[in-house]
Amino acid sequence: MSAHVKAIDLSDAQVPAGSIWKKLPLVFAVLGIAGLALAFVTAGEDHKQFWYSYLTSFMFWLSLGLGSLFFVIIHHATRAGWSTVVRRIAENYMITLPVIGLLALPIVFGGMDDLYHVWVHPGETDLFVQAKTGFLNTDFFTIRVIGYIAIWTLFAGFFYVSSVKQDTSGDPRLAHRMRRIAPVALILFALTITFAAIDFMMSLDPHWYSTIFGVVYFGGSAMMTYAILALTSMGLQKGGILKNAITTEHYHDFGKMAFGFMVFWSYTAFSQFMLIWYANIPEETIWYYYRSTGGWEVIAALLFILHFVVPFFFLMSRHIKRRNLTLAVGAIILLVAHYLDMLWLIQPTMHQHGEPHFAMHIADILAFVGIGGVVLAVFSWRLGAAAAAPMKDPRLAESLEFENF
């Protein structure tokens, strides 16, 4: 029955001046710069370690920007109702893409020799890689990365600016325009995230290839984004923002989406593994060999447990997803799992010409804090700059009243 139509108070959608939220950008920026500088210092002479730590954290935080872009595109493409009230939070994460794009430039102009040595300087007898240098060469790589940054900036900027503009004008044509652009954005998003995953991560070992690699990265990215959106919403509500607007129903949906993409990741990651395991061709299995010896088998087992078994049974029940505390526990497990995934994909390559062995360096943690600090500084800066929800979106009322069955 529509007996419970209640006016929802949206006066707390604006971050109050002089509150702790306004100080966060500065705090995060300091953390970010200090983290990156310390990571560089502690890695010392071992530039290779620094670049691997940097790339691992870069790919983790890039997941958040890209996942949020996906969230916004899907919202418009499907004319979603439920996600309107939380869309601005995703938009604020999405608008970190131009900045995280800039953080890719140090890799392109400084880290190539250390990270992609195998194809930057292919060995004379390495015919496999020599045959691939038409695609894998420094110039084309640089052009591609700049292309990704341009496309991500373009779409993130377009959706962000249109949405904020609607806050004052309330013009429904803006919503229509965003919906028309969304399918185009979706196609370019799929292409760029696939190629970016291949360029940044798969080309670390250019002998090996997997056509589903980009899809696996996308699954993990979408999963971690929904987990972060749930945690961020809880944080905002604790801080007195959108206290009545975000309800259990929205948290339930975050949980459902995170659960769904967690299973999707498992499905694709296992598909990749099983075909290679079954065919048993040496140049393909060597990739898994490096990742299942010297301590990496522990990380692989942890991935299986934390990226599938535990969250699958834990997050299955609706009661778990509808309680903030338990959902937060599930979200944190998924974030840990996504970081382990990045670590497991990227770092075994570092020592592959010696003995592969698992070792975490202090620079891993510092680079994580560093890049995370920069991303969250941009997020909290944008959070304070506009309302925390799209105030005049035509479907805001639908989102506020939305209920799961």
Partner 1 sequence: MAETKDWGMLAEFDTPKDIYHACEAIRDEGFKHWDAHTPFPVHGLEGAMGLRPSKVPWIALAGMIFGATVGFTLQWWSMAVEYPGIIAGKPFFSWPAFVPVTFELGVLFASFGTVFGMLAINKLPTFHHPLFNSERFKGHSDDKFYVSIESRDPLFDKKKTKKMLKQLGATHIEVVAEEA
- Binding residues for partner 1, rule: CB under 8 A, are 1-3, 270, 273-274, 277-278, 280, 316
Give me the least distance between CB of 223 and partner 1, in Å please. Answer: 19
Of 140 and 313, the one with the shorter C-beta distance to partner 1 is 313
Give me the least distance between CB of 208 and partner 1, in Å please. Answer: 18
Of 18 and 278, the one with the shorter C-beta distance to partner 1 is 278
DSSP label of 229: H
User: 203-213 burial by CB neighbour count: b if 16+ within 10 A, else e?
Assistant: bbbbebebeeb
Give me the least distance between CB of 78 and partner 1, in Å please. Answer: 22
Token pair listed for 52: 């691997």
Give me the least distance between CB of 125 and partner 1, in Å please. Answer: 29
Please give, one letter per residue, the 3-state secondary structure of 8-50: CCCHHHCCCCCCHHHHHHHHHHHHHHHHHHHHHHHHCCCHHHH
Give me the least distance between CB of 168 and partner 1, in Å please. Answer: 34
Q: Phi and psi for 15 in degrees, rounded to 5?
A: -70, 120
Of 109 and 277, the one with the shorter C-beta distance to partner 1 is 277
Of 192 and 272, the one with the shorter C-beta distance to partner 1 is 272
Of 158 and 288, the one with the shorter C-beta distance to partner 1 is 288
* 111: nearest Cα among 39, 167, 164, 165: 39
Angle at 343 between CA 342 and CA 344, to 5 degrees: 90
User: 221-248 burial by CB neighbour count: b if 16+ within 10 A, else e?
Assistant: bbbbbbbbbbbbbbebbebebbeebbbe
By CB neighbour count within 10 A (0-12 exposed, 13-18 middle, 19+ buried), where does 4 fall? exposed
Token pair listed for 403: 């209920």
Residue 175 contacts residue 394 (beta carbons within 8 Å): yes
Of 10 and 276, the one with the shorter C-beta distance to partner 1 is 276
Of 129 and 263, the one with the shorter C-beta distance to partner 1 is 263
Of 11 and 280, the one with the shorter C-beta distance to partner 1 is 280
Residue 229 contacts residue 250 (beta carbons within 8 Å): no
Residues 6+ apart with CB under 8 A from 4: none
Give me the least distance between CB of 3 and partner 1, in Å please. Answer: 8
Kindly give the interhelix angle for 324-346 and 47-77, rounded to the nearest 10 degrees: 130
Give me the least distance between CB of 2 and partner 1, in Å please. Answer: 8
Residue 225 contacts residue 380 (beta carbons within 8 Å): no
Of 60 and 265, the one with the shorter C-beta distance to partner 1 is 265
Give me the least distance between CB of 337 and partner 1, in Å please. Answer: 19
Of 46 and 401, the one with the shorter C-beta distance to partner 1 is 401
Give me the least distance between CB of 274 and partner 1, in Å please. Answer: 5
Give me the least distance between CB of 145 and partner 1, in Å please. Answer: 35
* 200: nearest Cα among 346, 101, 64, 300: 346
